[in-house]
Each structure stands twice: as C-alpha cells, then as structure tokens.
Amino acid sequence: MIYFAYFIMIFAGLQLLIALLNVVFRVNYGLYKTTADHLISVIIPVRNESGKIENLLNDLTQQCYRNLEIIVVDDDSEDNSREIVTEKAVADSRIQLISSGLPDSFWLGKNHACYRGAKAAKGKYLFFLDADVRLKPEAISSITGYFEKKRPVFLSVFPKQILENRGVKKVIPIMNYILLSLLPLFLVRRSGFSSISAANGQFMFFDTDIYRAFEPHKRFKHEKVEDIQIARFLKKKKMKIACLTGNDDISCRMYDNYEEAMEGFSKNVAAFFGNSYLLAIIFWLITFTGIIWIMTFLPWFYTPIYILITAGTRIFISITSRQKVADNILLHYTQLYNLGLLIKRSIKHKRNKTYQWKGRNIA
C-alpha cells in the first residue's frame, strides 16, 4: 500500500510537469497572419442547431479573410436550421446550403455530412467547424497563417470553452484536465508516434489534396470519435499534424447545462484513454482517491505537498485552457466525481448500445 501511495505521488508530479510543459510550449497562433488569398472551404455539419448556426455564420461573414466558401450541410434537421441558413445565404452569396442524406446504416450522420461537404468544396483548404464554435474576425487569417508557416497537413484546435453556469463548470473542464495533464501537445507536432495524437472535431483544418487522397471521414465513417482516429491515421502515414489550444479568437459553447454535458461526454470519454475503460477507471481511481492514500500511508508532510502539486496542475491547465483558476481548483473533486459518473454512463451506453445524439441512436 505504501508503494502505491508513492506511485500516486510520482503520477501527480508527472501530471504537474506535463501541465507545465503545455503552458511553456503553447502556440500563440494569433501572431501569424496569412498573406495569401487561397479559397478556403468552410464546412459546417448541422443537425438541429437553430440556436447556434446564425451566430457562427455571422462570425464567418465578418472575417478579415474574405476568400471563403461557406458550405452548411444539413443533416436532416428537425428545427428551423435550414430556414436560418437559407436566409443568411440570400444576404451573402458565399454561403450555400446542401443536404447530407444518409446512404446506409454504416455512416454516422456527422461524418457523412462532413464528407458530403468536402465533396462539394472547391477550396485549397478544408476547414471543418461545429455550429457551436465562435470566431473573432482575425481567427481564420491567423490559423491559415500558422498552417502555411508550419506546414502540417492537418491542424486541430481545442477552442476556449464558454462556461456560463455552474452545471457545465462541473463537467466540461474534465476534458482539458485529462488532455493537458497526460499529453504534452507539442509532441503531437514533433513526435512521429501515432499513439501521441490528439484532435478535436469541433475545429479541423486540412490540406485539400491530402484530404481527397485519404478521405478520412469516409474511412472512419462509423466512428463516434473520428477526430482522434483521423489524427492517428495521418501520423501512421508519416504526415505532420498539429493540435493546439485555442486563444481568445476561437471559442465554443459546447453544452448549455449539466445533463447535456454529461450525455455528450459519455460518448467519447474512453477515447482520451485509447478507448480503454480499464485505463479510464485506473486514472479516475488514482486522481479521485489519491489524497486518501497519501494521508493514510505516507508521512504527514506528503499531504500538503500533494495538495500543492494538484493545485499547481490545475493552475497550469486553467491558464492553457483560458479557464478560471479558482473555479477549477474549488470544483476539482466535484469534476473528478463526475468523471466517475461519465465512465459509468459510458460503459452502460456501450453495453446497451444506447448512445443517443441529436435524437439519433449512434451506438
């Protein structure tokens, strides 16, 4: 038991080190501005996004980078998303609306919508965005400038998350805590190992020639977490990819309340651990019960050291994620408790094949 307690201390120290590295090596892509004027195809898969799609379209039409085609792919929406997009297209000819359709049961709706949008696109670059993302006017110019300077074939960004109520604050920061305490993001850019990969389907930027060569959304058409699979696949092909954390130019309001966040993350929580529920459970047990092991089996002075290490990890991750430090420290164990509930819910959905998203079963 004593050795396990020491292992927990070492693990916490490694988390602190990785979190620090992610602060030190974070990329300020706002310093980059493209001087080119290539056509960029922005592809937005939409299903029941009437409350969000108009804001994103407004952001896109106000971009400093003007040479855009904006392709909204409707995935059989049951609200008035289509009407909103149609109205915006009248005001700006760069916006077009197409229907996704769903050819067979082997496709997931979002993956097929992205694929359909890519088939219709004419740009040098393909820029996939979720409808809940928000962009400030310089965002596309900055991202394109970084892409052209560093020359990856695929770039993904974890946007700054908009946390408007206590319910989402208890859940959404878990994603950043896991990612930024286990994976030094600069290694995604610099390491050739496919296991060191990360991506976020909310924001994916491709070289069109590479996308058409591999058709990744078609290749992973039934994957609920296609973004990470795409990143790993490209690295296996010896392609250079990059994954960054967002600055203030790129933000996202993923979920509006606690239950939405819990249900949403339940479909992909295992992906942070290589789709291993065993590793997810081990991580949860170590982080959630670690303080008990330290207090019980190690000399007293290890307890304040462990607390300081944990607080330092949360501080560094909050800085990188542009989240409030105080919220994440005060809600640390609440978030870890919810991580346990997420893992339990995800296992139940997997066993019963009851993953639901936007009114569809995606098991």
3-state secondary structure 155-223: EEEECEECCCCHHHHCCCHHHHHHHHHHCCHHHHHHCCCCCCCCCCCCEEEEEHHHHHHHCHHHHCCCC
pLDDT digits (tens, 9 = 90+) for 209-250: 999 999 999 999 988 889 999 999 999 999 999 999 989 999
Contact, 155 vs 197, CB < 8 A?
Answer: no
Delineate the domains of the chain, giving CATH numbers in brackets: 2-24+262-346 (no CATH), 29-163+183-256 (3.90.550.10)
pLDDT digits (tens, 9 = 90+) for 104-158: 778 888 999 999 999 999 999 999 999 999 999 999 999 999 999 999 999 999 9
| Alpha carbon distance 112, 132 (integer Å) | 19
Of 242, 241, 244, 239, the C-alpha closest to 213 is 239
pLDDT digits (tens, 9 = 90+) for 293-317: 999 999 999 999 999 999 999 999 9
What pTM was estimated for this model as a whole?
0.92
**Residue 247 φ then ψ, to 5°:** -100, -165
